[in-house]
Amino acid sequence: MSDPTHVPAGAAEDLARGRRSVLAILAGTGGSPQLPTLQAASPLRALPPATEAKLSNRLEAGLSPHGTDHPRRSVVQRVAIPSAVLALLDAVGIGVAAAGGHVVLAILAGVLFVPFAVMAVAAARFAAQDPLRLSGRDRRAIAQAGSWQSQQPWTGPLAYSSERALVVAAVAAAERITRSPAWRSTRLDEHRVRLDLAAELDQIDAQAYRIAGIRSQGSVGGLPVTVASPVADQAWDTAVTRVAALTCYADSLDGLAKRQAEAMARDSYPLRDSALMAGSAQDEFAVTDLAALTYFFGAAMFSGPGDGLGL
């Protein structure tokens, strides 16, 4: 893990602003009996190695990571579909000719049907075996890896607590991270492997719920009544910093994506280099950018799975 004691210039101030931003979100977040959920733009947790490798290869080829496009897709439109249509028309012709007693025509139509059908099947199979094509299994794995829901019973007065609002703020930060094109960059491979956003949300969710349980003293008018607890307050401070770090990480990724877009416009990169915005291996992050990201990454994880409550 990165050393969170190494603070890049301005990063500590950004983290302080991140805390203020999170606290502002808490003040403006209303409660809800619905559990916090997230369907992210890209995976929150690790994918099967084969699917992860396919996504990386798609990025390097300039394709959208989760799109339906792939190099052999044109084969379906140019060969498979026309051949299938001709085979279908030929099959109709066989039936019509046979019903009309035109044996010779039926035989000729039957002879033509075979190559059309074979060509349609072969072209479809060739396209389906494209190594850059996302299969149904790949898409199911991606959808599952991008889905998260709170496992804590945020019901009753706790549904309107500051602790639940903190989970909502963490979900918002995680969603922004996965939506950023820079997040899929190969330069952040190590981060994506170690920063399991689903596990991070699980830990923040559990931590916030335990804090809420210690502080909760019932409710008045449906709103929670809390009691001060030095131990819980210290754990709360840690949890806020953790969510602030995720927020700052998202802010930094947004800045990287913006600077990449400006560089592309300034240098008039050709369209094929738009893979930069998708996070391909061609992108180049400044050392200061990576240092700041690593700092926020470490700050987000420094508390680990513990919560300082001794529970």
Quick one: pLDDT at residue 270?
42
Assign 150 a pLDDT band (cuts: 50, 70, 90).
very high
Q: Which residues are CB-neighbours of 243 under 8 A, at least 6 positions away?
A: 22, 166, 169, 170, 173, 204
225-242 mean pLDDT: 86
Report pLDDT for 4.
45
Residue 152: per-residue pLDDT = 95
Q: Do the strands 216-220 and 37-39 form a parallel or antiparallel pair, or are they unpaired? A: unpaired
pLDDT range class, residue 205, cuts 50, 70, 90: very high
Model confidence at 182, pLDDT cuts 50, 70, 90, reads confident
Between residues 209 and 11, which one has the greater pLDDT?
209
* Mean pLDDT of the region 274-302: 58
Q: Is the pLDDT of residue 203 over 60?
A: yes
pLDDT-based confidence at residue 198 (cuts at 50, 70, 90): very high
Amino acid letter for position 222? G
pLDDT digits (tens, 9 = 90+) for 158-181: 888 999 999 999 999 999 998 887
Please report which confidence band the pLDDT of residue 224 belongs to, taking 50, 70 and 90 as the band edges: low
pLDDT classification of 285: cutoffs 50, 70, 90: low
Question: In the predicted model, is pLDDT for residue 282 greater than 50?
Answer: no
Per the prediction, the chain carries an average pLDDT of 78
Please tell me the least confidently modeled range out of 12-26, 33-47, 59-73, 249-263: 249-263
Instruction: State the alpha helices, DSSP H only, in 29-102.
Output: 49-60, 73-75, 81-99
Q: For residues 124 and 109, give the distance between their C-alpha atoms in angstroms, rounded to a whole number.
A: 22
DSSP state of 6: -
- The pLDDT of 180-194, averaged and rounded, is 74
pLDDT tens digits for range 67-85: 778 877 777 788 888 888 8
Report in angstroms the alpha-carbon separations of 3 from 76, 117, 196, 301, 308: 51, 62, 18, 11, 20
CB 43 within 8 A of CB 145: yes
Q: Any idea what DSSP says for residue 159?
A: G
Q: Is the pLDDT of residue 264 over 80?
A: no
CA distance 295 to 311: 28
Q: Which residues have C-beta within 8 Å of that of residue 305, sequence separation ≥ 6?
A: 203
pLDDT tier, 124 (very low <50, low <70, confident <90, very high otherwise)? confident
Which of 29-33, 173-177, 236-240 has the weakest average pLDDT? Answer: 29-33
Q: Measured between alpha carbons, how far is residue 212 from residues 71, 123, 158, 161 in Å?
A: 52, 59, 7, 7
> Which residue would you say has higher pLDDT here, 173 or 1?
173
Q: Is residue 233 within a helix (H) or strand (E), and if so which, with residue range? A: helix 230-267
Query: What is the predicted pLDDT for the residue at 206?
Result: 95
